Amino acid sequence: MTSRIGLVLILALPAVWARSADGLLDVVITPNNGMPALVKPGESFSITSKSEATFAIQNDLGTYPVAVEWAPLPGGRFRGTATVPDAAAPGAYAITASTGDKSDTTVRSVYVLSEFPESYSVAHVSDTHVGSGRHPRPSEAIVQDVFNAVNATGAAFCLVTGDVTENGEVEQYQNFVKLLDTCTLPTFVVSGNHDRKALNYENFFGPDAYYFWFGNDGYLGFDTKDFIVADDLSPQVNLLYPYRRAIKPARWAIGFSHRYEADMGMNAQLTLFVDDPLDHFFFGHWHREARAHEKEVPWNAPGGAVPYTVTPAAINGAMRVFKVDANAITPEPTQKVAAIE
């Protein structure tokens, strides 16, 4: 079914919340500010929703109703394909779902881009550990400095690879989302072991695994859980292979996750490092730089072993930028951008 709403209807809507009042995802599951859509005017993006709501994207410059073609998903959810109007100006947009008298808005969920450059840089932040008291300076202040530094990089977007909270508490997620929303770049989040408390991560950010395109490059984010790393019993196995296949035509296929361990689940290893090896893999978790011998996964894959880059923890004031162009994926040195005392 195709749905359209007009600008008049949008203006008539009651006051909207960013997500639900407690910060949890509400009607709109994806895109969200941890998994935004990157599109050019006239292009389409995918929506996962709890209902066949009417949708619009909006920012200070305008509000644009978006037409959505819906298909049902198992579990009572819906997947829609939405098209960004040609008139939408480049910039960050909130996505708003309206159903009956209810409205749900998630900010920084759609980024309209005029082009996808062939050469660009990406910021990598990991292990923000919001809510931790491990340093004299509050974790929120440290992480704010890190995101301020991210904003100054001129990167195309930012990967945030897990342990976003200290121990997965709802209040910590709420504070993390507030910090995340100070980022002026699109932010792509995956969970870490510290984020595992019931289904809090999923309630704030939705899918554990996903992929997206930036121009001709494919990025695949996945979950490594909290004890048995990238557990083979996880239904994530259903996703990794089709997602890897989906970005197979990419110029570069780049993976990102919270952690890499040599003994992580074999399905993830075989899918991403052996049978159809990624071109590069970014992660955190270690809270340190890689040592001299820690450069690539040890599998002897077709085309060579998968190189990896670990970025030290943001809670210790660190972040990294890597450059992507036609010739290479080039991690730059770690930047220390925040004091911890």
Partner 1 sequence: MWNFSLVLISVLAASGEVAFLAGTEQEDRCVHVLSVETGEVTRVGLGERDGAPVWSPEGDQIAFSAQYPDGLGIYVIHYPGGTPQLVPAIGTWNQYPRWSPDGSKLAFQVGGLLEASIEVFDVTKNASVRYGGEAKGLMRPVWEANDRLITVGIRGLPDELTSGLTLVTENNTEKTNRSSDAYTVWAVEPSAPLEAVAFESNDGGDREIIVYTARSGAVDVSNHAAADLNPVWSPDGQWIAFESFRGGTRGLYQVKPAQLLVKTIAADPGYNNWSPSWSPDMTQVAFITDRSGSPKLAIVDLASGETRLFDAIPGDHAAPAWRPKGK
Which member of 61, 266, 328, 339 binds partner 1 (CB under 8 A)?
266
CA distance 266 to 277: 14
165 binds partner 1 (CB under 8 A): no
User: Minimal distance in Å, beta carbon 138 to partner 1?
Assistant: 28
Q: How many CB atoms lie within 10 A of CB 135?
A: 17
Which member of 114, 182, 216, 238 binds partner 1 (CB under 8 A)?
238
Scan residues 39-98 and list those touching partner 1 (CB under 8 A): 73-77
Say if residues 221 and 288 touch (Cβ distance below 8 Å): no
Say if residues 93 and 77 touch (Cβ distance below 8 Å): no
Which member of 274, 290, 329, 340 binds partner 1 (CB under 8 A)?
274
21 binds partner 1 (CB under 8 A): no
Which member of 33, 49, 161, 271 binds partner 1 (CB under 8 A)?
271
Q: In a 10 Å sphere around its CB, with 0-12 CB exposed, 13-18 middle and 19+ buried, how is residue 62 labelled?
A: middle
196 binds partner 1 (CB under 8 A): yes
237 binds partner 1 (CB under 8 A): yes
298 binds partner 1 (CB under 8 A): yes
CA distance 4 to 7: 10
Tell me the three state secondary structure of residue 186. Answer: coil
User: Minimal distance in Å, beta carbon 228 to partner 1?
Assistant: 6
Q: Among 158, 149, 146, 67, which residue's Cα sits nearest to residue 108? A: 158
Interface size with partner 1, residues (CB under 8 A): 37
241 binds partner 1 (CB under 8 A): yes
CA distance 265 to 232: 5
CA angle 218, 259, 38 (to 5 degrees): 30
Contact region for partner 1 (CB under 8 A) — 32-40, 88-96, 171-179, 233-241?
233-241
User: Minimal distance in Å, beta carbon 300 to partner 1?
Assistant: 4
Instruction: Report the largest interatomic distance among the alpha carbons of the chain, rounded to a whole angstrom.
Output: 61
Which CB atom, from 61 or from 73, has the smaller least distance to partner 1?
73
CA distance 25 to 30: 9
Q: Which residues bind to partner 1, rule: CB under 8 A?
A: 73-77, 196, 198-199, 225-228, 231, 233-235, 237-238, 241-242, 245, 261-264, 266-267, 270-271, 274-276, 296, 298-300, 305
